[in-house]
Amino acid sequence: MPFLDPALERYAEANTAPEPDHLRELAAETQATTDLPNMLSGHVQGRFLSLLSHLVRPTLALEIGTFTGYSALCLAEGLAPDGILHTIDIFNPVAAMADRYFRKAGYTHRIRQHIAPALDVIPRIEGRFDLVFIDADKSNYIRYLDLVIDRMNTGGLIIADNVLWNGKVLAEAPAHDGDTRGLAAYARRVSTDERLQSVLLPLRDGLLVSRRK
């Protein structure tokens, strides 16, 4: 479901900071060679993720859902000088592409890519998180939240993508599929959790940003 007229989308892009060259190249290769290029964060959302990361300056960041690595590279831009980003995907046929662009952008030693179930990997990552980006299997968003919320530093951000789910979250409950139910439940959970301050932004397919109090 397009939330903006295409002309307004172009206007937003024209008035947003430009993508670095390596991200433009990655976006073009993703569009040309992958089956689901719409999974890419894209220019405006990518710059917003970079902005949030620069505001937080995370020492330890986590991304659940790597795909071709575009959003990981956006988040890595704001890492603290000694910061590390862990990015996880259960099955990623384009992991080699992501790794190639991590190297090309100079983040080889700062982005650690895991190909395994996030529910298994997250408990093995040591430390407290400053920023978490959730963009994976929608039915498990709450399970991912439960794994990280008590490990967030005060002021840390939890960012969840696709929370409007192409408008399906407005459907009657019996029509919901598991992913839609999971996203609706996640939105209710973070908007009512007293440990979090949350805002849902209608950016692309919906971005829900929660700050750990």
Which tens digit of pLDDT belongs to each residue from 173-189?
645 688 999 999 999 99
Q: Using only C-alpha atoms, what is the Rg of the chain?
A: 16
Domain tally, the chain: 1
> Which structural domain, as residue segments, surrounds residue 194?
6-212
pLDDT at 91: 86
pLDDT at 36: 87
d(CA 43, CA 12): 10
What mean pLDDT comes out for the span 71-82? 98
Please check whether residue 196 lies inside any domain of the structure.
Answer: yes
Please check whether residue 154 lies inside any domain of the structure.
Answer: yes
Please check whether residue 84 lies inside any domain of the structure.
Answer: yes
Please check whether residue 57 lies inside any domain of the structure.
Answer: yes
**DSSP collapsed to 3 states, the chain:** CCCCCHHHHHHHHHCCCCCCHHHHHHHHHHHHHCCCHHHCCCHHHHHHHHHHHHHHCCCEEEEECCCCCHHHHHHHCCCCCCCEEEEEECCCCCHHHHHHHHHHCCCCCCEEEEECCHHHHHHHCCCCEEEEEECCCHHHHHHHHHHHHHHEEEEEEEEEECCCHHHHHHCCHHHCCHHHHHHHHHHHHHHHCCCEEEEEECCCCCEEEEEEC
d(CA 63, CA 69): 10
pLDDT at 175: 59
Tokens of 10: 């172009």
Please check whether residue 119 lies inside any domain of the structure.
Answer: yes
Residue 207 pLDDT greater than 70, yes or no: yes
CATH number, domain of 184, equals 3.40.50.150
Question: Is the overall model pTM greater than 0.85, yes or no?
Answer: yes
Specify the higher pLDDT residue, 176 or 74.
Answer: 74
pLDDT at 111: 98
Local confidence band at 171 (pLDDT 50, 70, 90 cut-offs): confident
CA 141 to each of CA 2, 16, 34, 96, 152: distance values in angstroms, whole numbers, following the listed order: 23, 29, 25, 26, 16
Share of the chain above pLDDT 90, in %: 85
What mean pLDDT comes out for the span 58-78? 98
Residue 1 pLDDT greater than 70, yes or no: no
Please check whether residue 52 lies inside any domain of the structure.
Answer: yes
Please check whether residue 115 lies inside any domain of the structure.
Answer: yes
Please check whether residue 1 lies inside any domain of the structure.
Answer: no
